[in-house]
Structure 1
Amino acid sequence: MRTFEVKVRRDGKWWMIEIPEIDGLTQARRLSDVEDMARSYIAVDQDLVPSQIQLMNPQVEVEGSDLAATMAEILNLRAEAKEAEERAAALMVRTAKALAKADVPLRDIGSVLAVSHQRVHQLLSAEAKR
């Protein structure tokens, strides 16, 4: 297994794929085709089978901006948002359960939680089934 660095940049309507260690350059029409095109180029140039080729995470650049760094930040923020959403949902269930135990009507619990009374019923029912 051989590992190759790949640098990708936008040039007009094409993605230019640079493979520095073999001084290689190829192109792809779509970003989703970059990996296949890079593997094919390396396989022919280095007389390897594509399964022997491993590509490092490509650096993708558009007008000087590193998209890999941007994508990593987006994925990190999405993970944080998902975690926050899960914590909020758990807190919502705990609050609904505590208010229901105190005999607060479902409509009032809904007002507190900013959801419908039907959603409160779902939250309490889902919790009861667990």
Structure 2
Amino acid sequence: MKAIEIWDVSDHRFRALIEILSPLPSRIVTSAWEVSDFFHPDGSEAFFLGGGWHDQLDRLANTGIRVAGAELVEMARRSSQVIWGTFLRYDPVESDEPWIALHAIDSTFWRVETRDIATRQALMRTFTDVRLKQ
């Protein structure tokens, strides 16, 4: 999958999950999402939220349970900052491969992997500091 990185900040803070989800196509709410650790190339893995408290996303991480997109959006609205984590969107009628992967990386940037050109373009129109990756 091709990737972009979103390095935007808003009011000197890392972009929230809800801000990354908002420009995505409406089909995100009718699909299944899985929350898991971010797997770093050095072999380490982590799922961590800021704010020093746990929320629904934290309890959902690494359970293998998939939630409806509408439920993920609601959790994202109420969640604390995602410092490390991965969000995989699946379409049950298409394949077992995720359609999009959102990776929060060290409260620094979001890496978004998808084959969908329209989705990458929507994100590039929404955010100003977007970097294309291979």
Please tell me the TM-score bracket, short chain as reference: under 0.3
Quick check: which has more Rg, 1 or 2? 1
Task: State the TM-score, normalizing by the size of structure 2.
Answer: 0.24
Q: Which has the higher contact order (CA 8 A, sep 6+)?
A: 2
Q: Normalized per residue, which structure has more strand?
A: 2
Task: State the TM-score, normalizing by the size of structure 1.
Answer: 0.24
Q: Normalized per residue, which structure has more helix?
A: 1
